[in-house]
Amino acid sequence: MDTPNHCQFCAQHPDSAFHGLNREGLEEISQLKTCVSFKKGQVLMHEGARPQGVYCLHRGKVKLFTLGTEGKEQIIRFVTKGDLIGYRSILSDEPISASAEALEDTFACYIPKSSFFKVIEDNPKFSLNLLKLSCHELGEAGKMITSLAQKNVKERLAEILLILNTTFGVDEEGYIDINLTREEIANMVGTATESVIRLISELRKEGYIRSKGKRIALEDRSALRQMASVFE
């Protein structure tokens, strides 16, 4: 039997979909899941496919993205420890809307579709958690829509840098603890790679951030928040 404690561990986090489940529910999931690992760059799920289960991330980082016109990738959001992948597609009974690719070596639990539904049926609390989760993400998506529609590229870049800083934290030297290329940042901001590079240089010259290679550290977060009109 492989690592039956993972679920209880994941469930500790208040934002986890498994939070607040009783012992039996967690035990049930632990029984039904299997553990899988992915190398950096591996694709967990393909846009358009019909997933046969959901992943719950145990360790690692994953980007979710759709392919727009001419194959350009648009990063929708990131998935980290404790987050689920594929639940949207299974619950709405639609093809996967975004591909999921590992940004670093990643470990996840796989819960087959049938087991997933069984846990939902057996645990109303789990169902409510999922509702809460999807409704929260719906609100986040709305914010992203407003940003893309109304802010200019520099404001959006400032916003994304703040989000990355919050989502992934910083290393010992203060750099945001995520390994993204400028192109990937551009694919979040919704702009050209060169524009991101130019604006990162600008922000550096203005003293709001510092950078070393591809790594970025925020120097003046409150100024960035003001620039991005983020009031949280």
* Residue ranges in contact with DNA by CB under 7 A: 152-154, 181-183, 190-195, 197-198, 200-201, 211-215
Pair of tokens at residue 149: 């529609």
Distance linking the first and last C-alpha atoms of the chain = 44
Nearer Cβ to a second copy (217/230): 230
- 153-168 helix and 124-150 helix, angle to the nearest 10 degrees: 150
DSSP-derived letter for residue 166 is H
* Binding flag, residue 137, a second copy (CB under 8 A): yes
Burial class (CB in 10 A: 0-12, 13-18, 19+), 23: exposed
Of residues 24, 114, 132, 166, which one binds a second copy by CB under 8 A? 132
Closest approach of a second copy to the CB of residue 211, in Å: 23
Coil/strand/helix, residue 169: coil
Nearer Cβ to a second copy (99/165): 99
Of residues 6, 58, 88, 154, which one binds a second copy by CB under 8 A? 88
Q: Tell me the H-state helices in the chain.
A: 6-11, 23-32, 87-92, 113-122, 124-150, 153-168, 182-189, 193-205, 221-228
* Binding flag, residue 35, a second copy (CB under 8 A): no
Of residues 22, 31, 92, 114, which one binds a second copy by CB under 8 A? 92
Is residue 10 within 8 A of residue 18, CB to CB? The reply is: yes
Closest approach of a second copy to the CB of residue 86, in Å: 11
Closest approach of a second copy to the CB of residue 27, in Å: 21
Nearer Cβ to a second copy (139/213): 139
Of residues 41, 68, 169, 207, which one binds a second copy by CB under 8 A? 68
Closest approach of a second copy to the CB of residue 149, in Å: 3
* Binding flag, residue 192, a second copy (CB under 8 A): no
Residue 154 binding target from DNA, a second copy, none, CB below 5 to 8 Å by type: DNA
Say how far apart CA 103 and CA 71 lie, in whole Å.
19
Say how far apart CA 188 and CA 73 lie, in whole Å.
9
Say how far apart CA 161 and CA 12 lie, in whole Å.
28
Is residue 154 within 8 A of residue 209, CB to CB? The reply is: no
Residue 124 binding target from DNA, a second copy, none, CB below 5 to 8 Å by type: a second copy
User: What residue ranges bind a second copy (CB under 8 A)?
Assistant: 66, 68-69, 72, 74, 76, 87-89, 91-94, 97-98, 120-121, 124, 127-128, 130-132, 134-139, 141-151, 155, 189-190, 229
